[in-house]
């Protein structure tokens, strides 16, 4: 039996054990071929309610366990991810359309999230406060049950980024992966922590559609929601969470800018730009959507970026060594094609790409872009790079700051201090000097500003703030007495 043998989870959800769901069954399909790989159960609102009740009961016992036990479980989870990396990678390739490079990055980063969280379980969690005649302190206590709603693009990592620290800090967790990647974003995590020894009910994985997601957000026993997905869905979740006085950590969309300064190494810049725009078919919130290039380097940059797009092999990553795999589904493919077609009609110059072969969209470079070009003004979530020239750093700062998003920013320059000074003028949650926009580190806080979201997950301080509550505690040697 393999670690992810479908016989163990077919048509099931994980609720501290594999159970029959109330929301029906969905086929797991390979986006490159359309082939069925198995099936998963879909949770109903009633399943979510039952899971929330189980989680509330299990969480109290989990939080009371020694922190060394939580550390050991998370370290074992990291080891299991490494031990079963080949099998997990195959599912990432087949179910999510990942190329081998991206699958390896995702598994390694997910193991890193578990390792980082293992240390978090024993981190200091309070401080003494000034007081007379008593001990006064503040401490962080588990929030309770955390709902994690994760997307299709990095399904394992973007679930694990919240799951691992939430568990380490003594919370129960209910994960609702995108149903298109329910194995990579759900079954893998259930199996990892099942083998690692998480007690029944502490972690539950309930694939589902919008009904299940809404039930998680609205359930009164779930005080924290960690959501990664579209800005449209995030606004609705944030509004409902505010109404219910819940915390929502929202990692949403982006249209990130890469600024190529006059003194940048233009060959390296084109490499950065291609990776930032085309990794995982551009289906990344941090993807480089806007390439802002100094006019003196503009023509050469467009030429080099176009050559890289032309040379990248495209195809089924399960059967061939390719750099670009399939778009996740027909709806997303149609959106990309529409944005590119309308962009060319609006005046963008098609340098490379702009065509599809089945579910595979060629890496595309559009030049001479501005806000009239839909693919430049909007988040594409596809392998499309839009290039625009600038003349001064003032203009570059203004162009990069345009629009509602503020997730990631890259600045390429021979003068890092000048690059950081430029970045200081551009609202962004993530800034990378002399690198492209797609970066991640388990030890670093992650999140954006504006329409790119609110809250931070990642790194010890942000994770403690995200998944615990502050509690004030006082202790007297004997009972206090009052004049009434």
Q: Which residues are catalytic?
A: 251, 285
Asked if 252 contacts 453 with a C-beta cutoff of 8 angstroms, the reply is yes
Supply 354's token pair.
Answer: 């702009």
CA 316, 317, 319, 321 torsion: positive or negative? positive
Supply 33's token pair.
Answer: 């071929």
Q: What is the DSSP string of 185-205?
A: IIIHHHHHHHHHTPPTTTEEE
Supply 415's token pair.
Answer: 């003068």
Long-range pairs for 346-353: beta carbons < 8 A, 24 or more residues apart: 346/372, 346/373, 346/374, 347/372, 347/373, 348/373, 348/375, 348/376, 348/386, 351/302, 351/305, 351/306, 351/309, 351/387, 352/305, 352/306, 352/307, 352/309, 352/310, 353/309, 353/383, 353/384
Asked if 285 contacts 437 with a C-beta cutoff of 8 angstroms, the reply is no
Beta bridge mates, 358:
none
Asked if 407 contacts 428 with a C-beta cutoff of 8 angstroms, the reply is yes
Give the single-character DSSP code of 6: G
CA 2, 29, 320, 281 torsion: positive or negative? negative
* Pairing outcome for strands 453-454 and 25-29: unpaired
* Pairing outcome for strands 468-475 and 135-142: antiparallel
Asked if 38 contacts 17 with a C-beta cutoff of 8 angstroms, the reply is no
Asked if 116 contacts 443 with a C-beta cutoff of 8 angstroms, the reply is yes
* Pairing outcome for strands 203-205 and 224-228: unpaired
CA distances from 110 to 5, 145, 155, 415, 464 (A): 21, 21, 10, 34, 18
């Amino acid at each position: 039996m393999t670690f992810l043998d479908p016989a163990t989870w077919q048509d099931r959800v994980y609720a501290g054990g594999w159970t029959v769901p109330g929301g029906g069954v969905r086929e797991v399909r390979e986006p490159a071929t359309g082939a069925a790989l198995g099936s998963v159960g879909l949770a109903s609102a009633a399943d979510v309610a039952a899971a929330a009740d189980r989680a509330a009961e299990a969480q109290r016992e989990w939080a009371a366990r020694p922190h060394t036990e939580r550390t050991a479980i998370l370290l074992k989870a990291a080891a299991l991810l490494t031990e079963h990396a080949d099998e997990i990678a195959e599912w990432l390739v087949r179910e999510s359309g990942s190329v081998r490079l991206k699958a390896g990055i995702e598994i390694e980063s997910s193991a890193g999230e578990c390792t980082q969280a293992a240390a978090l379980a024993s981190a200091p969690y309070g401080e003494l406060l000034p007081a007379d005649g008593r001990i006064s302190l503040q401490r962080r206590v588990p929030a309770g049950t955390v709902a994690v709603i994760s997307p299709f693009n990095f399904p394992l990592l973007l679930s694990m980024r919240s799951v691992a620290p939430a568990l380490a800090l003594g919370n129960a967790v209910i994960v609702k992966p995108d149903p298109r990647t329910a194995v990579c974003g759900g079954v893998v995590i259930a199996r990892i922590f099942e083998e690692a020894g998480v007690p029944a009910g502490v972690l539950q994985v309930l694939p589902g559609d919008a009904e299940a997601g809404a039930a998680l957000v609205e359930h009164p026993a779930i005080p924290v929601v960690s959501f990664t997905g579209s800005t449209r869905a995030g606004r609705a979740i944030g509004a409902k969470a505010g109404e219910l006085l819940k915390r929502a950590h929202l990692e949403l969309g982006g249209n990130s800018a890469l600024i190529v300064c006059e003194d940048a190494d233009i060959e390296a810049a084109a490499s950065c730009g291609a990776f930032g725009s085309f990794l995982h078919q551009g289906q990344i919130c941090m993807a480089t959507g806007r390439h802002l290039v100094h006019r003196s380097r503009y023509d050469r940059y467009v030429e080099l970026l176009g050559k890289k797009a032309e040379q990248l092999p495209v195809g089924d990553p399960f059967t061939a060594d390719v750099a670009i795999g399939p778009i996740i589904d027909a709806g997303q493919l149609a959106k990309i094609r529409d944005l590119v077609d309308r962009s060319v009609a609006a005046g963008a110059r098609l340098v490379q790409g702009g065509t599809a072969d089945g579910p595979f969209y060629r890496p595309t470079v559009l030049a001479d872009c501005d806000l009239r070009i839909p693919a430049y003004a909007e988040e594409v979530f596809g392998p499309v790079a839009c290039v625009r020239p600038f003349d001064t750093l003032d203009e570059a700062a203004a162009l990069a700051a345009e629009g509602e998003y503020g997730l990631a920013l890259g600045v390429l320059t021979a003068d890092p201090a000048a690059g950081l000074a430029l970045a200081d003028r551009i609202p962004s949650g993530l800034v990378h000097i002399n690198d492209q926009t797609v970066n991640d580190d388990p030890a670093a806080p992650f999140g954006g500003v504006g329409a790119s979201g609110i809250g931070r997950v990642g790194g010890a301080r942000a994770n403690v703030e995200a998944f615990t509550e502050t509690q004030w505690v006082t202790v007297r040697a004997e009972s206090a007495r009052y004049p009434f």
